Amino acid sequence: MIIPFCAPSGVGKTTFIFQLSTLLLTKQFSLAVIKSTHHRTLKDVSLNTDSNRYKQLHIPFLISSNPTEIHTFAHDQQVDFILVEGGRSLNLPSVLLKRGLFDPDWLPPQNILRTVDLEESNALFETQTWLISKL
């Protein structure tokens, strides 16, 4: 199951997905993470902070802005969940993350599965429960 998490820059996508990944792993689910970005990133896993965080969790991780590379990576994974940070350009149903008001210049994805308010204390656990119910 591929689930993109979309939000404007600075909302907390990376932190939320890392925490969600840790929580799902403690429940014995398998997962991979894709960071889909149009920003310049460090593709060298040894130098990238996000890559190092996921390497510590021992899960497959990809940083890419190339839809073909993302789809190939996702197709090759034999896991319960593939969590995508970003991915609006993938045109997949997405979870919308928010913290306060939206930036009026930010265009949300077309197909929103769920909206998660990161200011709510139970956002992480409710998202985990929702994801598990979708399996």
Give the start-to-end residue ranges of the domains of the chain. Answer: 2-133
**pLDDT tens-digit series, residues 87-99:** 888 889 999 999 9
Asked if 14 and 85 count as a contact pair (C-beta separation under 8 A), the reply is: yes
Structure tokens of 125? 């656990």
Give the closest residue to 97 by CA, choosing from 10, 33, 25: 10
The stretch 63-82 carries a mean pLDDT of 93
Class of domain 2-133: alpha beta
For 9, the 3-state DSSP assignment is coil
48: pLDDT confidence band, cut at 50, 70 and 90?
Answer: low
Give the closest residue to 90 by CA, choosing from 72, 115, 116: 72
